[in-house]
Homo-oligomer: A and B are copies of this chain.
């Protein structure tokens, strides 16, 4: 069998994002989100639930020091049952563990984003803050490498007894991701060593050998993190541990049952699906359960499909990919149709107003997609990355950079969010921070590393997946090639690329043809062999100093969902380029269920200011159904009467930046 050609991710050191649109976003993360997060980790954000993240590390560190200083010191044992315990006096918390069991990961996500920023923007002051934080975190580590403050503070003898719910391996995964990022930025090994030691400690307790626990994480991420740690350190034990988690998952008898024997009777199939542990992963055929966990698992599966050339694993990934993107993904890229278990719902069940569509799940989809791209350069993966980035990722963060959405609905009626407990999870305005702060720091690490999603490479090919203006360097046999791309995305489809090689050399530039376009106009290429394959235009020539342009016409598109989707039947939405549009009350008034699009409307773009953002809005003639004034709730049907109205759509990612109001992506047509 031909060995698979892997197209490799390029790390941030070799990429410089020059894109006006994204530089602004990255700067927001650098200048606003990261400092804000640091305040949040230290419980200094007013009117926001404290994180207790750094508090917990400090408490664990103090316990360690006491033990060192006094061999007779007996650590108090607290109950380690709770998922979430808050202090009675938040101003003066005691030396206990507070917050969710996974609170440590807040730091890890922060340091990961810090690492990405430092790789691009040296900042000694930020690095100093980070080093001090790392000292605090490392002070909590146990002599054997264990590093999870929930058990260190509460009762270390109980560690590894509840892999299903207690997120130790999740914290390990995030710690690795953060440590690698910071190491790559600074070359400093302290946190990387700590992460390696924690991973080694876990490998001492969990694995195939007799006497070890045959478990796996309740919340996946360690799988892909360990793959990354292996790639950075070259140490196979990390790869082996991650692969063990992948292989062990879903085997019968269920490991989680051995941890929770009293629940076996009452446990439903559904419960196993929540953790994607209902079947061995290679037998799974559809996306199931908690969407973030799922996307992280599938990402890890794709990693090991690559690292182990495991075609069976790759086939499982591909089946699941198709299931998600063909049956379980919102137009915005959101995944997780149900708030029950924050999970994938059944095929085509995509309710707009009760959607979960967690920001983190979309970030997980980006991870999954990039890994699939590495295995198989098919534009369908990069199309999803683009869809997630310009809609959910950008929309997950307010334009102010200090307010965030967990849940990304496609339809909101504020009254329903306030009054209807079934929509409790849906917020009509972004929240400042969350006690369970997974999404904001996840956004920060994604946006700050967005440059790594632009290109991948093989020996002889540079793939351009995203049209985010960037500069990158490629090592060729004859020397370095500088590749510089300018792009008008997401507002226009004009891209220009300069290639400058030290010496003339033949290689290929492969340009993604976006799914929302399918066509392009190429200018300035001569003497090249060109072919299209799986959504990429491959341009092979001897490059020296070349400039070419490619234009993707960005037309307004009226889109509809498959007729199997009950929630959108009779409705349509607008897209332009990668951007999904929505109607907001600010522009279109209340009672948006009365609005209707006109089949024959002509759509026009218009520059519009939304808070600090200048965007392209779309206007068209549409209809507003007349309200009928009746004495009764139910009346004889009369053909609906409509009056003309102008409908104004704005980019979905800018919704909820002008106060609370109705919003909808899908409108009757």
- Say whether chain A's binding surface is mostly helix, strand, loop, or mixed: loop
Partner of A561, one of B338, B416, B633: B633
**Is the C-beta of A635 less than 8 angstroms from some C-beta in chain B?**
yes
A572 adjacent to B422 (CB under 8 Å): no
**Is the C-beta of A558 less than 8 angstroms from some C-beta in chain B?**
yes
Q: Which of A23-31, A321-329, A481-489, A490-498 contacts B (4 or more CB under 8 A)?
A: A321-329
**Is the C-beta of A231 less than 8 angstroms from some C-beta in chain B?**
no
A420 adjacent to B570 (CB under 8 Å): no
**Is the C-beta of A83 less than 8 angstroms from some C-beta in chain B?**
no
Chain A, range 547-599, C-beta contacts under 8 Å to B: 557-566, 569-570, 572, 591, 593-594, 599
Q: How far is the CA of A669 from the CA of B557 in the complex (A)?
A: 26
Partner of A346, one of B331, B419, B558, B637: B419
A633 adjacent to B562 (CB under 8 Å): yes
- A626-641 CB mask vs B (1 if < 8 Å, else 0) is 1110101111111110
In the bound complex, residues from chain B placing their C-beta under 8 Å from that of A154 are none
**Is the C-beta of A668 less than 8 angstroms from some C-beta in chain B?**
yes
**Is the C-beta of A34 less than 8 angstroms from some C-beta in chain B?**
no
- A604-628 CB mask vs B (1 if < 8 Å, else 0) is 0000000000000000000001111
**Is the C-beta of A349 less than 8 angstroms from some C-beta in chain B?**
yes
B325 adjacent to A562 (CB under 8 Å): no
A669 adjacent to B637 (CB under 8 Å): yes
Q: A593-B566, A593-B569 are in contact. Are A345 and B636 (CB under 8 A)?
A: no
- A171-194 CB mask vs B (1 if < 8 Å, else 0) is 000000000000000000000000
Q: How far is the CA of A637 from the CA of B575 in the complex (A)?
A: 11
**Is the C-beta of A421 less than 8 angstroms from some C-beta in chain B?**
yes
Q: How far is the CA of A331 from the CA of B569 in the complex (A)?
A: 22
**Is the C-beta of A277 less than 8 angstroms from some C-beta in chain B?**
no
Q: How far is the CA of A627 from the CA of B564 in the complex (A)?
A: 8
Interface centre among A346, A557, A628, A633 (most CB of B within 10 A): A633
A558 adjacent to B636 (CB under 8 Å): yes
Closest residue of chain B to A630 (Cβ to Cβ) is B562
A327 adjacent to B633 (CB under 8 Å): yes
Q: Least Cβ distance of A325 to chain B in Å?
A: 7
Interface centre among A270, A327, A569, A669 (most CB of B within 10 A): A569
**Is the C-beta of A413 less than 8 angstroms from some C-beta in chain B?**
yes
Interface centre among A420, A566, A634 (most CB of B within 10 A): A634
In the bound complex, residues from chain B placing their C-beta under 8 Å from that of A325 are 633
In the bound complex, residues from chain B placing their C-beta under 8 Å from that of A594 are 563, 569
**Is the C-beta of A391 less than 8 angstroms from some C-beta in chain B?**
no
Q: A327-B633, A341-B421 are in contact. Are A570 and B628 (CB under 8 A)?
A: no
Closest residue of chain B to A341 (Cβ to Cβ) is B421
Partner of A420, one of B345, B559, B561, B634: B345
Partner of A636, one of B326, B421, B559, B591: B559
**Is the C-beta of A340 less than 8 angstroms from some C-beta in chain B?**
yes
B340 adjacent to A563 (CB under 8 Å): no
In the bound complex, residues from chain B placing their C-beta under 8 Å from that of A626 are 563
Q: How far is the CA of A325 from the CA of B633 in the complex (A)?
A: 7
Copies in the complex: 2
In the bound complex, residues from chain B placing their C-beta under 8 Å from that of A51 are none
Q: How far is the CA of A327 from the CA of B594 in the complex (A)?
A: 18
B570 adjacent to A570 (CB under 8 Å): yes
Number of A interface residues, CB 8 Å?
55
B560 adjacent to A635 (CB under 8 Å): yes
Partner of A354, one of B422, B566, B569: B422
In the bound complex, residues from chain B placing their C-beta under 8 Å from that of A448 are none
**Is the C-beta of A339 less than 8 angstroms from some C-beta in chain B?**
yes
Q: Least Cβ distance of A595 to chain B in Å?
A: 10
- A320-360 CB mask vs B (1 if < 8 Å, else 0) is 00000111010100000011110001100100001000000
Q: How far is the CA of A38 from the CA of B572 in the complex (A)?
A: 55
Partner of A640, one of B413, B419, B570, B637: B570
Q: How far is the CA of A421 from the CA of B345 in the complex (A)?
A: 9
Q: A341-B421, A422-B338, A637-B559 are in contact. Are A349 and B416 (CB under 8 A)?
A: yes
**Is the C-beta of A415 less than 8 angstroms from some C-beta in chain B?**
yes
Q: How far is the CA of A270 from the CA of B562 in the complex (A)?
A: 39
Closest residue of chain B to A350 (Cβ to Cβ) is B633
In the bound complex, residues from chain B placing their C-beta under 8 Å from that of A270 are 421
A345 adjacent to B419 (CB under 8 Å): yes
Q: How far is the CA of A570 from the CA of B415 in the complex (A)?
A: 21
Q: Least Cβ distance of A354 to chain B in Å?
A: 7
In the bound complex, residues from chain B placing their C-beta under 8 Å from that of A331 are 634
- A511-531 CB mask vs B (1 if < 8 Å, else 0) is 000010000000000000000
Q: Least Cβ distance of A529 to chain B in Å?
A: 28
B559 adjacent to A635 (CB under 8 Å): yes
B340 adjacent to A637 (CB under 8 Å): no
Interface centre among A270, A639, A640 (most CB of B within 10 A): A640
Q: How far is the CA of A557 from the CA of B422 in the complex (A)?
A: 33
Closest residue of chain B to A592 (Cβ to Cβ) is B566
Q: Least Cβ distance of A88 to chain B in Å?
A: 11
In the bound complex, residues from chain B placing their C-beta under 8 Å from that of A635 are 559-560, 562
Closest residue of chain B to A562 (Cβ to Cβ) is B633
Q: How far is the CA of A416 from the CA of B348 in the complex (A)?
A: 11
Q: Least Cβ distance of A331 to chain B in Å?
A: 5
B422 adjacent to A339 (CB under 8 Å): yes
- Can you name 11 A-B pairs with beta carbons within 8 Å? A325-B633, A339-B422, A340-B420, A346-B419, A559-B634, A562-B634, A564-B627, A565-B633, A569-B593, A570-B640, A637-B669
Given contacts A557-B636, A563-B594, could you give 15 more A-B pairs where the C-beta distance is less than 8 Å?
Answer: A331-B634, A340-B420, A340-B421, A346-B420, A349-B416, A559-B637, A560-B635, A562-B632, A563-B626, A564-B627, A565-B633, A569-B594, A569-B625, A570-B570, A572-B637
Q: Which 5 A-B pairs have the closest CB atoms?
A: A340-B421, A346-B419, A558-B637, A560-B637, A566-B593
